[in-house]
A and B are shown apart, each in its own frame.
Chain A
Amino acid sequence: MNRLFRDYDIKPDVVFTVGALVAFLAAFLIYPVLYSLREAFFADGKFTVEFFILLFRNPTILTCIVNSFKVAVVSTIVTMMISMPLTWVMVRYKFPMQNVLGVLLLMPLILPPFVGAIGMKQLLARYGALNSLLMSIGLMDRLHPIDWLAMGFWCIVIAQALHLYPIAYLNLAAALSSVDRTLEEAAQSLGADPMRRFLTVTLPLMFPGVFAACILTFIFAFTDLGTPLIFLYTQVIPVRIFSMVETATEDPTGYALIVLVLVITSVLFVTSKRLSERRQVAVVSVSGIVPKQLIGLKGCIVALIISALCLIAIVPHACVVLNSLAKSWAMSALPSEFTLQHYEALIRHPITTVSIRNSFVYSLASTSLDIILGVALAYVLTRRRIPFRGLLDIIAMMPLAIPGVVLAFGYVGCYAGTVLDPRINAAPLLIISYAVRRLPYSVRACYAGFQQVSTTLEEASMSLGASPLKTTVKVTLPLIYAHLVAGAILTFAFAMLEVSDSLILALNPSNFPMTKAIYVLSKRVGDGPRIASAMGVLGMVILAASLAAASKALGKRFGELFRA
């Protein structure tokens, strides 16, 4: 016991902070997961794998599992095929317009792919913009247009790849720039040609980063609910889970499916984490090794190709914008008449006004919650000696491995019939789920901040008579302000556009956040998709403004927030 007091800071403030944190994480992170596990493995108090057998006997579910893997694998491959060469030229070469393109490349981040999917649907419909264009220039028979949307699989892959390549690129770029260039030169001086150099030295050294990028992409694609829903590609796991929400309390195979997803994502995530921690080599910058200048035609071609990529990547966004402004848009490449009436509808329509208000309230609440949790966690992790520090750290990072569908489904199950029942009032659980899902980002931002502030400053403050709490508020927090602001803005922005939790938890129209409203509206005939598009544009504007503000607060280290 004495030892415990000697080795750790067992003081009221620490006990209270850690206690509160543990209670919160236990209730809203651990419990739902354990609950899902129990429901999946136990029937009438006895251990059973029957539900899994049922799961694998069900041909529909098997198709879903296969499809989900296919979507995720192909999306990952396509994403890597875009981001790998992109990373190489962006990191290793200098060419015209590079800085501008570097920003434009990140554009797709500002829109959840399912909103982009609404735009793509408009573009690719049987008598949509693309076919109309092809018909008008005589490349397509008017009577037999190609039904692109019938290829739902590829539509999903494209929508996801166009959204995910910036995240993969940021991860790969970080990995590539951390490879010591003299190692490549050493290989070269020993006789390795460029391809050998890449395969034997560069790639192995950046492998953890490559793997992390693949895993992030894979997990996102594997658990993406919104995009398949919009493209009506329903035979995938997330959609299946979504359709099981109604019967969550009765049908245990739903939990079995949840557990399956959880196992896959956790294994991948932990593997990636292990890899990146295994080898950390200090980077030595050697003078004289600078990115190669691509001049003349070569440079222009590279700039052109990347511009084309940016252009293609924002086509879905552009379609959403056009759609939101179109009075009618069919049988023509561009809308025939423009109107602002859909934006007017945003203020008039009951679903939209309520959902916009809801989104702001929920996001602000979850952001505040995340700041408090993030600061508290980062504080005890960096500044206090506590028992099971590593475990707390792992738990705080767990949400990264837990997909939104899994957590939301767990919430529905374990909080049904309580005061938090989402069927009665989803607001508290929505706020909490947003907060939990973004907690790792918030903790990381605060953690980085705390690590940068020298403890001697705090010691100085305390030696002058300030209490630990006062020191944190007066000295530490002002110093990590930039990190806090950036973390908060991002938490807010992503909460505004969180898809799977919103779709699953918001069961009652009075609780709809924007994303759920967009989804519901997009399924309505008539003006629905256009009003949904107008909301999508609003979402884009909010997210773009938030990201701009966050990058301003963080400066160059902005990319760190998107890394695994």
Chain B
Amino acid sequence: MVEVKLINVTKMFGDVAAVDKVSITVAPGELFFVLGPSGCGKTTLLRLIAGFINPDEGEIWFGDRLMNEIPAHKRNAAMVFQNYALFPHMTVFENVAYGLRLRKLGKREIAERVERCLELVRMSDAKWRYPGQLSGGQQQRVALARALAVQPDVLLLDEPLSNLDAQLRKEMRHELKRIHSQLRITTIYVTHDQKEALAMADRIAVMRSGRVVQVGTPYELYRKPSSKYVAEFIGDANVIEGVVQKVKGDRALLITPLCAIECHCDAATDLIEGMRTAVAIRPEAVQVALAFDADIHAANEMRAKVIDVTYMGDEELLELSVKQAYGEWRMRALRTNPHERVLVGDEVILKFDPSDVILIPPNEHDE
């Protein structure tokens, strides 16, 4: 197990910084995710760690070894590729044995280790088949076995599940988690799928245009996103802008065009009365009351009209319109286990708990 540390790593492609002053530390044995939309530089970051490309600036450390000048084949950082990159001219066995043969292990030991790795990914039966004869999911398992066989210091996964269908993807998530908890190899996993990241990661780094915008556990990222971008990228969010009216202890009151919003704030966020800021409210935190004629007086309440309903069985996503004196706003609410039907055109009252209001730090919300 080895720690991976990036210090101010920058990689330029022409005039564009594909990776821009990225600093992250991945703890030994951690399952660390790099999450971002396509083109955000996450794959470039992974390739920098693998050593396929060299950073223009910054340092990459594996434990106490500086890796900058070390070529990829001497880093012992095995990578699983998005397209699996299995050698088509070799059998499954030969693919998995490839790295072991390079390490000049004995025949016996190679056979044993290949066997063990194939067992780990449950592919022992396919040993003598060629990659072309395997399904996508099987290829993916073999690719993983090949990477694990060399007992890498660092395991790099580049969107490993993106070419699989939804069912298989779910299955492989469990498999990968199981294998990771069994082997505890420091793993860096790149994906654009936030659900995958939330479900699997020890910690996640969210990237945007070459920069890391936030690092944290899935819980932290979901509950305390540091920016509007993270709030909207991880999960869904209703972002509402407003002005701070009053701060008292750990409570703050905001005036927004929709309604007055009361929320929790910790001492670290220095809110000043009169400053502009924004909050995010998760759709599942919005409670929908069908009794429209009830009075509204409290904060965190508003009237709305249903304009679209997406029924998904276990839950129901409502698209809502909130009309106020200054204009019209959109809100989304997610109802779980809906048994009372809500129809398009219904008028409803929306409420949310102050503890469900996510305060977005003032400097970040304007991005």
B156 within 8 A of partner (CB): yes
Q: How far is the CA of A183 from the CA of B82 in the complex (A)?
A: 11
A-B contact count (CB 8 A): 84
Residues on A with C-beta less than 8 A from B76 are 191
Q: How far is the CA of A288 from the CA of B16 in the complex (A)?
A: 13
Residue-wise interface mask of B (64-91) relative to A, using a CB-CB cutoff of 8 A (1 in contact, 0 not): 0000000111111111011101111100
User: Are B87 and A188 in contact (CB-based, < 8 A)?
Assistant: no
Return the contact of B79 from the options A180, A189, A287, A289 (Cβ within 8 A).
Answer: A189
Among the 9-residue stretches B42-50, B209-217, B327-335, the one with 4 or more Cβ atoms under 8 Å from chain A is: B42-50
Closest B residue by C-beta to A284: B83
Q: How far is the CA of A83 from the CA of B268 in the complex (A)?
A: 67
Whole-angstrom distance from the CB of B198 to the nearest CB of chain A? 26
User: Are B83 and A189 in contact (CB-based, < 8 A)?
Assistant: no
User: Are A196 and B78 in contact (CB-based, < 8 A)?
Assistant: no
User: Are B89 and A279 in contact (CB-based, < 8 A)?
Assistant: yes
A78 within 8 A of partner (CB): no
User: Are B47 and A288 in contact (CB-based, < 8 A)?
Assistant: yes
User: Are B102 and A196 in contact (CB-based, < 8 A)?
Assistant: yes
User: Are A286 and B99 in contact (CB-based, < 8 A)?
Assistant: no
Closest A residue by C-beta to B101: A200
Residues on A with C-beta less than 8 A from B89 are 204-205, 279
Residues on B with C-beta less than 8 A from A288 are 43-44, 47, 52-53
Q: How far is the CA of A187 from the CA of B146 in the complex (A)?
A: 10
Residue-wise interface mask of A (33-67) relative to B, using a CB-CB cutoff of 8 A (1 in contact, 0 not): 00000000000000000000000000000000000
User: Are A183 and B85 in contact (CB-based, < 8 A)?
Assistant: yes
User: Are A286 and B83 in contact (CB-based, < 8 A)?
Assistant: yes
Residue-wise interface mask of B (138-169) relative to A, using a CB-CB cutoff of 8 A (1 in contact, 0 not): 00000000110010000010000000000000
A185 within 8 A of partner (CB): yes
Whole-angstrom distance from the CB of A9 to the nearest CB of chain B? 33
Interface set, chain A 201-216, CB cutoff 8 A to B: 201, 204-205
Return the contact of B99 from the options A183, A191, A193, A204 (Cβ within 8 A).
Answer: A191
User: Are A190 and B78 in contact (CB-based, < 8 A)?
Assistant: yes
User: Are B85 and A191 in contact (CB-based, < 8 A)?
Assistant: no
User: Are A185 and B99 in contact (CB-based, < 8 A)?
Assistant: no
Return the contact of B73 from the options A189, A279, A281 (Cβ within 8 A).
Answer: A189
Whole-angstrom distance from the CB of B91 to the nearest CB of chain A? 13
A508 within 8 A of partner (CB): no
Whole-angstrom distance from the CB of B195 to the nearest CB of chain A? 24
Closest B residue by C-beta to A196: B102
Residues on B with C-beta less than 8 A from A133 are none
A182 within 8 A of partner (CB): yes
Residues on A with C-beta less than 8 A from B43 are 287-288
User: Are A190 and B146 in contact (CB-based, < 8 A)?
Assistant: yes
Whole-angstrom distance from the CB of A101 to the nearest CB of chain B? 24
A260 within 8 A of partner (CB): no
Return the contact of B150 from the options A191, A200, A205 (Cβ within 8 A).
Answer: A191
* CB<8 Å pairs between A and B, sample of 7: A186-B85, A187-B87, A189-B52, A189-B78, A204-B89, A281-B88, A281-B132
Interfacial residues, chain A to chain B (CB-CB below 8 A): 180, 182-183, 185-194, 196-197, 200-201, 204-205, 279, 281, 284, 286-289
